[in-house]
Amino acid sequence: MKDILPQPNLGLVPVAKDLTVTAEHLGRCDTLPAAKGSASQLHGMDLFRANAAALIEQSLGFEKRFKALLREGFAEMRTKLRVIDLNSIGRMQNSIVVDEDKPLDILYSMRTGQLIPDFPKNLRALDALPGE
């Protein structure tokens, strides 16, 4: 029992006696178990807050990268769908060409979404391509 530090008594009797006694009892507030543990609790809360802030920052960064990848993926998908559409129309148009000198519709590259360079101009040029 000798290890117990003096505890404050902030009842009305000591406060009413004089300010010296009140000051003495207020000074003893540091010995309260709640006050002793509060510093480590505050430190723990500060660490938790810092970790939570770091986690939020990381998740916002992840979200930003994820959205950029989604936008990129959807843009690529839109391009491919557009090319498939355009090439379907071009292939239908080219399928009815019977005259060797009638121009062919140029098809689009699936990789770039651009017209294929050096696409055969007509059936004669198409027939002249080396077969593989």
Q: What is the pLDDT of residue 33?
A: 67
pLDDT value at 91 more than 70: yes
pLDDT value at 19 more than 80: no
pLDDT band at 12 (very low <50, low <70, confident <90, very high): low
Instruction: State percent of the chain over pLDDT 70.
Output: 79
pLDDT band at 83 (very low <50, low <70, confident <90, very high): very high
DSSP character string of 16-65: HH-HHHHHHHHHGGGGSHHHHHHHHHHHHHHHHHHHHHHHHHHHHHHHHH
Q: Where are the domains of the chain?
A: 32-128
**pTM score, whole prediction:** 0.53
